[in-house]
Structure 1
Amino acid sequence: MKRRLFLISLLTALLATWAAGSVAGAVDRKSYDTASFKAAQQSGARILVDISATWCPTCKAQKPIIDRLAEQPVNTDLVIFEVDFDSQKSVVRQFHAQSQSTLIAFRGKVETARSVGDTNPGSIEALIQSTAMK
């Protein structure tokens, strides 16, 4: 009986540790708002603007790629702003985006790269890395 309780306690502790690690590594995506975006630009942050739509299969394919790349230690400072293509039309126009699945990279106020409809992990990684200091 003691051994069974010990194993249950150990399993519970392991699951709690694993869950905490998963949350700690979670990607911080922010819903776009002008004030937060401008503050990130002012601070010289590495920024990725993800213009997507819930119904878009390409956007759904991009999300896990972006999340995996953002979890890499080299990208922990990347700020990701999500723009909803359907409900934030004025923001979409502000970024001169023609369609959903548009990714725009910035280093501070400078746009460093842009892509539309790309689901290639290598080229999305290159887009994100364009925000790094040279």
Structure 2
Amino acid sequence: MYRRTVLAALTGALALFSVAAGHAAESAEFTQGAFEAAQKAGRPILIEITAPWCPTCRAQKPILSELTAAPKFEDLAVFDVDFDSRKDVLRLFHAQSQSTLIAFRGPDEVGRSVGDTAPASIAALLNKTLSSATP
């Protein structure tokens, strides 16, 4: 009986996760071509510059995951940039540090933050990527 209860609970949790994951923003490693295609399509875009050794980046991850799971961000393109290996991209975006978040609405940069781990201000940055002001 215990096995069935645990199995039922796991099945329910997986189903719930699948529904939530269906609304998560698309995330991919940065490529110039994919970034330009997202810009031309007028998509909301987030550039996330991270480093595996960065504690601030680790703190931002769950905040971004939760925020981008909201249905309003289902079209958000998230591009990951490794701070240590992608110096070319850092120069392109004039980024000098890891834990940098850069928001675009289509071709236009609409905001950026560095070292921010406050959910409210990260949410405000993400909202700037949307066509209409969404609280």
TM range (shorter): 0.7 to 0.9
Supply the distance in 1 between the matched residues of 2:20 and 2:64 (Cα, whole angstroms): 13
The equivalent of 1:72 in structure 2 is 70
Supply the distance in 1 between the matched residues of 2:40 and 2:102 (Cα, whole angstroms): 17
Q: 1:14 deviation in Å?
A: 4.4
Does 19-28 or 87-96 show the bigger shift?
19-28
Supply the distance in 1 between the matched residues of 2:16 and 2:75 (Cα, whole angstroms): 18
The equivalent of 2:39 in structure 1 is 41
**Gapped regions of structure 2 (runs ≥ 5):** none
**Gapped regions of structure 1 (runs ≥ 5):** none
Identity %: 49
- Choose the corresponding residue for 1:16, options 1, 6, 11: 11
The equivalent of 1:120 in structure 2 is 118
Supply the distance in 1 between the matched residues of 2:45 and 2:37 (Cα, whole angstroms): 11
Supply the distance in 2 between the matched residues of 1:35 and 1:29 (Cα, whole angstroms): 15
Opposite residue 106 of structure 1, the aligned amino acid is F
Residue aligned with 2:89, SS: helix
The alignment covers a number of residue pairs equal to 129
Supply the distance in 2 between the matched residues of 1:97 and 1:54 (Cα, whole angstroms): 17
- When normalised by structure 2's length, the TM-score is 0.86
Cα offsets for 1:27-51 (capped at 9, x unmatched): 4321111111111111000110000
Q: 1:117 deviation in Å?
A: 0.6
Q: 1:20 deviation in Å?
A: 3.6
- When normalised by structure 1's length, the TM-score is 0.87
Does 27-36 or 43-52 show the bigger shift?
27-36
The equivalent of 1:25 in structure 2 is 20
Cα offsets for 1:42-72 (capped at 9, x unmatched): 1000110000100001111111111110011
The equivalent of 1:93 in structure 2 is 91
The equivalent of 1:61 in structure 2 is 59
Supply the distance in 1 between the matched residues of 2:101 and 2:92 (Cα, whole angstroms): 14
State the structure with more CA Rg: 1
- Choose the corresponding residue for 1:109, options 107, 110, 114: 107
Supply the distance in 2 between the matched residues of 1:74 and 1:116 (Cα, whole angstroms): 24
Supply the distance in 2 between the matched residues of 1:39 and 1:110 (Cα, whole angstroms): 13
